[in-house]
Amino acid sequence: MVLAAVPGVNALVQAASRGIGFEILRQLLSRDRDRRFVATCRDPRKATALQALAAENDGRVLIVPLELADEGSIRAAADRTAEYLDELQLLINVGGFLHRPGQEPERRLDDVNADSLHASFAVNAVGPLLVVKHFRRFLPRRGRAVVASLSARVGSIGDNRLGGWYAYRASKAAQNMFTRCLSVELARRHRGVICVALHPGTVDTDLSRPFQARVPSEKLFSTERAARQLLDVIVSLKPEDNGAFFAWDGQPVPW
Ligand SMILES: NC(=O)c1ccc[n+]([C@@H]2O[C@H](COP(=O)([O-])OP(=O)(O)OC[C@H]3O[C@@H](n4cnc5c(N)ncnc54)[C@H](OP(=O)(O)O)[C@@H]3O)[C@@H](O)[C@H]2O)c1
């Protein structure tokens, strides 16, 4: 394990309150006892599982509030992080939504509305980009650093044969473009950076729960399995993977 072999590799898990992000943080904590972690969530008071995990790992997890739709909150989270650590070798953007109260994925054009499109873009695309904008100061100038953003295969333009889900698909496609832009720009000042988009597979979380009925059980991953697979992909990334889009099994996904 490349990451586990590097002492003092610190990580940011953006959106660790539940789902895949919580499990990524839990597994990172158990992989290497030397590391320090920054875990963000929208409301630390409500993130009771995250609070318990941090308490079990006393002093190794800083919980910071971060709302993806609010750049001021992202900036404040970066400032708070600076009081806790100097460098991050791993930044994982996890937060995103497919549905929320009052917003379901669109089945057809008539379901599309501007407010929903704006909300999806703000959280799924703009927010993760702003996280990198404000946290790039923690990336090392030299040496390996991974910036990974959880995307979705449905954000692939080339792979879209079913249509629908306009806001989610397009916001993830925009997130992918931001990842690609970042891979070019960050590499100029951070020589060892590897910037990727990752598809976690279909994972049993609140996000996918309303849409799991037709998913065969072998294709519905537990959060434990999904996090392990994603961390394995991250660990095996090579410098030439900068700017790529990979699925949970390490296979490239068409843009
Ligand atoms: N599950 C799947 O099958 C699947 C498939 C493909 C891609 N993905 C992607 O994987 C990522 C994680 O999904 P998941 O399945 O773990 O979802 P989840 O269980 O619903 O968790 C979503 C996470 O995003 C956070 N979040 C939502 N809106 C936010 C906002 N406005 N600001 C900050 N944080 C926000 C949530 O925080 P709160 O607890 O505060 O709400 C929560 O931590 C997402 O980007 C998703 O698009 C998931």
Checking if the pLDDT of 107 tops 80, the result is: yes
Q: State which H helix or E strand residue 40 sits in.
A: strand 37-41
Could you tell which of 13, 14, 18, 156 is best to mutate to test the pocket of ligand 1, judged by most ligand atoms within 8 Å of the CB? 18
Minimum-distance ligand 1 atom for the alpha carbon of 17 = 43
User: Is 205 close to ligand 1, i.e. is its CB under 6 Å away?
Assistant: yes
How far, in Å, is the centroid of ligand 1 from the Cα of 4?
26
30 in Cβ contact with 13 (< 8 Å) = no
pLDDT, tens digit, 9 for 90 and up, residues 236-247: 999 999 999 999
Distance (Å, whole) CA 53 – CA 39: 11
pLDDT, tens digit, 9 for 90 and up, residues 124-165: 999 999 999 999 999 999 999 999 999 999 999 999 999 999
User: Is 148 close to ligand 1, i.e. is its CB under 6 Å away?
Assistant: no
Distance (Å, whole) CA 110 – CA 87: 47
3-state class of 34 per DSSP? coil
Nearest CA to ligand 1 atom 1: 203
User: Is 18 close to ligand 1, i.e. is its CB under 6 Å away?
Assistant: yes
User: Is 193 close to ligand 1, i.e. is its CB under 6 Å away?
Assistant: no
* Weakest mean pLDDT among 1-15, 71-85, 158-172, 188-202: 1-15
Residue found under tokens 């704006």: 118
Distance (Å, whole) CA 88 – CA 136: 9
How far, in Å, is the centroid of ligand 1 from the Cα of 142?
31
User: Is 97 close to ligand 1, i.e. is its CB under 6 Å away?
Assistant: yes
| Higher-scoring residue by pLDDT: 34, 149 | 149
